[in-house]
Chain A
């Protein structure tokens, strides 16, 4: 397998399109945000003051930011753990031979095809304190009114459920694919050795799914950190009282509503470093436990 390119520059030329894309959409913006994070800039960009690490020191002394960090960790942790546990169970159930299984599968998978804006609207409507059907049902059953607009923990819980629901299709597809590669011989051998269904699942199936789990762990974490923006914007706008203001949403508010570009850039730099470290840690520690068959 030692093919030679006819021309020394050919490989670089072929790489050019992707390098251009990376340069324009990733590298230049990253460098610009690092640069901007050292300034305080007026909304219209006509005035700027060099503040050194002022934006960063303000970040970590601000109670609002620390609060947002805590909220993010709770949010991301819950979305990842609940999402993976729930989806592996759903996928295992969907991996049976039943009449009409493809219909059930479609039902579980299509949540991924719904845009965040629509998913957010659907959930917000279901839990609308005044007109939501879920709120109405709960009132009929328990005679309790439920208003997530003035209950921080409830709001966070509902946003977590919505975020898990939105990502469910993606997780289920990968787990289903993973489950279908589990060799029947191994499961048969295990049952001959006397393992029951639950034991087989935990001792044979789950370890064999570990590459999928590892992949989904990273994807879900990135999702929980960055991609839930649309959902939160539609559902809570970070409220009530900053209860669902996770880091990426706070960044948006400071950067695009308050138009404090320098401060928002500092936040994006911190967020970038933070997620990079998390990913490296995951690669380092989780990968040792991943079994590639």
Chain B
């Protein structure tokens, strides 16, 4: 859906999405890194289980909700990637303990 412009010379940062290594760039938000990757980043909603991807990318819509380093319901569009970060695509509502 999106690709990186060749002029982007930022250093790579490796994150893991459901255990699979994904190359992000320093300064990417988690949501941007997911949309730039080839992974199926669709979460499913808590109400009906409908698939969603980020809609606003500016912290207002909450369609980017994702589990980051074991913590659920994080707004992926507001969190910058970090080396070794563990991202899980969140299916349904946040689970207790996450």
Partners in one complex: no
Question: Interface residues, chain B, CB within 8 Å of chain A?
Answer: none
